[in-house]
Amino acid sequence: MEAEKKAKLLSEKYLNNSAVSFETEHFDDRQLNPKGWQYKKYGNSTKGRDKLAYCRENMNLMEDNGRCARNDSDPRYYENLIFMDDNRVIEVKTSPSRSGNSCSYSFFTVTKK
């Protein structure tokens, strides 16, 4: 139900209340040392970072609601971005790990029918 409400709100704000469909994608990117066992078992992944780079290059950034971690000793930066082109809106949320070796990307795409 929450995804439907979010799709409706994004449709009202950016797509002029048109009929929409939505989808959610989640990527867990890893940057591991090639000499370690984790790399041999899981490998590296950059699908989320690549999709975010595509959005930055080819779409208009509408909102940037990023924030830093809650304390000064933690350098992580959580991004909450909204991109838009002619008939779709993509909301991107990033959540980096404390170690810096991985990052989770959530893409919520609302497309005009």
Categorize the per-residue pLDDT at 21 as very low, low, confident or very high, splitting at 50, 70 and 90.
Answer: very high
Count of CB atoms situated within 10 Å of the CB of 97: 13
Task: Compute CA distances 3 → 7, 63, 66, whole Å.
Answer: 6, 19, 21
Enclosing H/E stretch for 30: strand 20-30
Question: Is the CB of residue 94 less than 8 Å from the CB of residue 104?
Answer: yes
Q: What is the gyration radius of the CA atoms in the chain, in angstroms?
A: 16
Q: Residues 45-73: what's their mean pLDDT?
A: 89
Distance of CA 44 to the CA centre of its chain: 18
The residue extents of the domains of the chain are 2-112
**Distance of alpha carbon 69 from alpha carbon 96, whole angstroms:** 10
pLDDT at 99 over 90: no
pLDDT of residue 103: 92
